[in-house]
Structure 1
Amino acid sequence: MPATPDKPTDPTAVGDTGLLDALQHEVAVFARRAEQTRLGGVGQVRNSMDRAAYLLLNRLDKEGPMGVKALAASMGIDSSTVTRQVAPLVDTGLVKRTSHPEDGRAVVLQLSPRGLARLEEVRASRRQLMAELTQDWKPEEREAFCSLLTRFNRALSARQAAHCAAQQDTSPAS
């Protein structure tokens, strides 16, 4: 089906090429600045935390204790990745392994009190940073930015999930 002015088939044809170039540049700058902030280049060094650790602790706090497979599925990553990322969190006492309440043979990961305290410390630091960076924004601007960033992240997540599904469909059976 040929492209029409209303329905282009090429996603890069949507909008102004200059705007898309500016958007991809700003996303790249954002990613770099976010990483610098996480590493303590901006903000409080004592409250920096590895991105994977923050996301895992946050997920356990919001969704409660769960097994490795459930945690991996809820985060859209591989179980082996979760296992590797959780190990240092268990070693440092931020996460504890417990028996599943209904099946004592199964292991469940749970945020420890120390992990919750550390997560709250990091959240408070990040909240303060967000407040400083957006102090001259109107509340509706903060809400719009958060909404658009959430939408952008969901689109990235959906694209990644589709890409992984397509790779599984084309991989040879073992």
Structure 2
Amino acid sequence: MDMTTVGDTGLLDTLQHEVAVFARRAEQTRLGGVGQVRNSMDRAAYLLLNRLDKEGPMGVKALAASMGIDSSTVTRQVAPLVDTGLVKRTSHPEDGRAVVLQLSPRGVARLEEVRSSRRQLMAELTQDWAPEEREQFCTLLTRFNRALSARMTVQGPTSADQPPAS
């Protein structure tokens, strides 16, 4: 079934356009928050720190799997976080040869500072929304992100994501 003919194509056109605009604006501002913390942490760092905070210490492979990205990408993205003292490498408690990544106390404090700034931004952007509208938007955006994630899991990277053949 061709999904572009299902429902209102005008609505689907508006949806794809608004998603594209959102992605561009989110990247331009990085939805970094307000005040001095604004734009002070890139998306990859925020997502990695957030994942370690929510799921606890883990190895590179487990972190990559939980985020749906390649281990080499996680290794590359974690390196500056280790260098700046936001993440520390420690020995695995059960297998001393294995290394796990965990937030340092500095990382915990920095993540909370960024979260607080971003919460303030979300409050400002939605200040004239009813609480139910905020909840509905959050529910729908979460659902949309899960659908995108599931699609990527099933299909893998698109040809646009693949390096050109040599």
Q: TM-score with structure 1 length normalisation?
A: 0.86
1:142-153 equivalent positions in 2, closer than 5 A: 142-153=134-145
Percent of aligned pairs with the same residue?
85
- Count of residues in correspondence between the two structures: 158
Please provide the CA RMSD for this pair: 1.8
* Residue 135 of structure 1: how far off its partner (Å): 0.6
Q: Confirm or deny that 1:125 pairs with 2:117.
A: yes
- Give the counterpart of 1:107 among 99, 103, 107: 99
Per the alignment, in what secondary structure is the counterpart of residue 108 of structure 1?
strand
Q: Confirm or deny that 1:159 pairs with 2:151.
A: yes
Q: CA 1:137–1:165 in structure 2 vs 1: closer, same or farther (change >3 Å)?
A: closer
The answer to whether the Cα contact below 8 Å between 1:89 and 1:95 also exists between their aligned partners in 2 is: yes
The answer to whether the Cα contact below 8 Å between 1:39 and 1:45 also exists between their aligned partners in 2 is: no
Q: Confirm or deny that 1:44 pairs with 2:35.
A: yes
* Residue 138 of structure 1: how far off its partner (Å): 0.7
How far apart are the structure 2 equivalents of 1:34 and 1:76? Answer: 21
Mark the runs of 5 or more structure 1 residues left unpaired by the alignment: 1-8, 168-174
The answer to whether the Cα contact below 8 Å between 1:61 and 1:116 also exists between their aligned partners in 2 is: yes
Q: Which amino acid aligns with 2:128?
A: D
The answer to whether the Cα contact below 8 Å between 2:85 and 2:106 also exists between their aligned partners in 1 is: yes
Q: Which amino acid aligns with 2:37?
A: R
How far apart are the structure 1 equivalents of 2:141 and 2:79? Answer: 30
Mark the runs of 5 or more structure 2 residues left unpaired by the alignment: 160-166
The answer to whether the Cα contact below 8 Å between 2:37 and 2:113 also exists between their aligned partners in 1 is: no
Q: Confirm or deny that 1:70 pairs with 2:58.
A: no
The answer to whether the Cα contact below 8 Å between 2:86 and 2:105 also exists between their aligned partners in 1 is: yes
- Give the counterpart of 2:126 among 120, 127, 134: 134
The answer to whether the Cα contact below 8 Å between 2:31 and 2:118 also exists between their aligned partners in 1 is: no
Per the alignment, in what secondary structure is the counterpart of residue 114 of structure 1?
helix
Which structure's relative contact order is higher, taking Cα pairs within 8 Å and 6+ residues apart?
A: 2
TM-superposition CA deviations, 1:56-92 (whole Å, max 9, x none): 0000000000000000000000001000000000000
TM-superposition CA deviations, 1:29-68 (whole Å, max 9, x none): 111111122276x733534211000000000000000000
Runs of 4+ with >6 A deviation: none
* Residue 166 of structure 1: how far off its partner (Å): 9.7
How far apart are the structure 2 equivalents of 1:59 and 1:106? Answer: 19
* Residue 121 of structure 1: how far off its partner (Å): 0.6
